[in-house]
């Protein structure tokens, strides 16, 4: 497993072993600097080498990179992340795309769906992700009613996501009804990722988060929509919540990459939410989510242990406390010597 990391920003800290070259100077030594403390600790996955600086030859992922990956049959890994720290972790793991998704409305803000999310919300979270300076292409979701009202408003809002949020592309949900919007965005030099199938912004029209494309007519419409979106200028397409056979048919009919979520193994890539794949979110359990860790229980246990140590007085101990600066000998002391 190869992990890439640049010196800026530094690798995440956690209670494992010191990285090579870390200063072993104990806390509370001369100077009393508030930055004094235990040596930085970094996590190295079992059996892997330490996180290392990304090779200078590794270039920023862009739209052309993804198209080239599709042509040579290389799968694309995409993660939905919402802040600086999660973006750093995704970058260290080497994912090719980061989606600043409107699912932040549910995962971060605690709403029941994505509809309350605003352009300002996406701008704010996109800025945080981009501050991590990831190698991955950062795609920002266009939230509900940010592109449906008019083409002019869609271009203005997408422009904000690139100018203020520093995203490198935008994603919109829907099919043939938004072809003019896709065309206008691409004409404005804004890369567009499409999204068909289960489109969460249509939750009320669908009557809930339901699998789409199971009937012959709806499957045919999705295949047609996918082709139309490619011709309108989309550089990639998210296929969500559709039968895997249909996802394979769509993928084979296109020349742009498809990214699946609940769409089976035949897409050109996959996307999962950061909190889902790490087991941080445990309230929502869709079938398509695979947990690669169970951090929710780990975090609860860690905070519970912290609370117990605070209650008992075990924390902080002297190893986590600052000492006084060494007293300098007075002039009289030196003369006595």
| Active site (catalytic) residues | 240
Let me know: does 238 contact 194? Beta carbons within 8 Å.
yes
From the number of C-beta atoms within 10 Å of its C-beta (0-12, 13-18, 19+), residue 14 rates as exposed
**Bridging pattern class, strands 41-42 and 13-18:** antiparallel
DSSP string spanning 281-336? --S---TT---S--HHHHHHHHHHHHHHHHHHT-SS-GGGSPPPPPPPPPHHHHHH
The residues pairing with 258 across neighbouring beta strands, listed in sequence order, are 237
What DSSP designation does 174 have? B
Distance (Å, whole) CA 177 – CA 204: 18
Burial of 316 (0-12, 13-18, 19+ CB in 10 A): exposed
Q: Which phi and psi (to 5°) does residue 221 adopt?
A: -65, -40
């Amino acid at each position: 497993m190869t992990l890439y990391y640049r010196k800026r920003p530094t690798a995440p800290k956690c209670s494992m072993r010191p990285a090579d070259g870390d200063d072993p100077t104990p806390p509370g030594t001369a100077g009393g600097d508030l930055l004094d403390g235990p040596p930085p600790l970094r996590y190295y996955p079992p059996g892997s080498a330490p996180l290392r600086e990304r090779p200078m030859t590794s270039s920023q992922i862009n739209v052309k990179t993804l198209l080239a990956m599709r042509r040579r049959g290389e799968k694309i890994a995409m993660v939905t992340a919402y802040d600086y720290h999660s973006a750093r972790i995704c970058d260290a793991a080497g994912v090719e795309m980061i989606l600043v998704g409107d699912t932040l409305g549910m995962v971060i803000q605690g709403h029941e769906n994505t509809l309350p999310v605003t352009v300002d919300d996406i701008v704010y979270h996109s800025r945080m992700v981009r501050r991590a300076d990831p190698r991955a292409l950062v795609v920002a979701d266009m939230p509900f009613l940010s592109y449906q009202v008019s083409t002019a408003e869609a271009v203005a809002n997408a422009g904000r996501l690139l100018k203020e949020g520093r995203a490198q592309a935008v994603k919109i949900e829907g099919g043939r009804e938004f072809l003019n919007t896709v065309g206008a965005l691409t004409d404005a030099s804004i890369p567009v990722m499409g999204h068909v199938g289960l489109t969460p912004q249509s939750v009320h029209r669908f009557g809930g988060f339901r699998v789409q494309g199971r009937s012959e007519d709806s499957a045919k419409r999705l295949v047609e929509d996918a082709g139309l979106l490619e011709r309108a200028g989309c550089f990639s397409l998210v296929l969500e919540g559709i039968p895997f056979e249909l996802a394979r048919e769509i993928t084979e009919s296109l020349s742009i990459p498809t990214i699946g979520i609940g769409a089976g193994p035949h897409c050109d890539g996959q996307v999962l939410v950061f909190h889902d794949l790490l087991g941080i979110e445990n309230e929502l359990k869709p079938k398509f989510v695979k947990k690669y860790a169970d951090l929710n229980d780990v975090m609860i246990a860690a905070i519970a242990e912290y609370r117990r140590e605070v209650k008992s007085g075990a924390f902080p101990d002297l190893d986590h406390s600052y000492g006084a600066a060494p007293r300098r000998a007075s002039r009289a002391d030196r003369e006595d010597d």
